[in-house]
Amino acid sequence: MDDSRLHDVLTKCRDDHLGLQAQIQEMLDEFHDNGKEPNSIAKSMSWIKTNTKLMMNESDSTIAGLMTDGGNMGVKSLNKYLNEYKAADEKTKDIAKKLIKQEERLVFQVKDFL
C-alpha cells in the first residue's frame, strides 16, 4: 500500500468491524450459539481471487477495487437478509444496518483510490 490515507481508511474499517464483531459475539453468547463459518467454497474462491489480483498488481487501485467489490457484495447480501427476515430481533437488524452503513462508507472512501 503506497498511500497512507488508504491505510488509515482500511484500519478504521477494521476497527469498526471488530467493534461489531464483539457485539455479535455477545449476542451469540446470550443464545449459547457459536455462529457458523462461511461456506468453504466461497471462502476459497475469495482467497484465490484476492491473491491472484494482488500478485498481478499490488497497487492501491487494486486494493481499493477488491474492497469495493467486497463491500458491495456485503451490502447486497445484508439487505437481502433484512428483507427476507423481517421478523428478526430488532437488535440483530440494527447490527446488520450498522454493518451496511460501514460497508457503504468504505466503498465511498476508497473510490478516490480506484
3-state secondary structure of 23: helix
Q: What is the tally of structural domains in the chain?
A: 1
Q: CB of 91 within 8 A of CB of 98?
A: no
* Neighbouring residues of 91: CB distance < 8 A, sequence distance ≥ 6: 27
Judge whether residue 103 has pLDDT over 90: yes
- Mean per-residue pLDDT of the chain: 93
Predicted local distance difference test score (pLDDT) of residue 36 = 83
Judge whether residue 25 has pLDDT over 90: yes
Domain hosting residue 72, numbered range: 4-113
- 37 or 7: which leads in pLDDT: 7
pLDDT tens for 43-73 read: 888 889 888 988 998 999 999 999 999 999 9
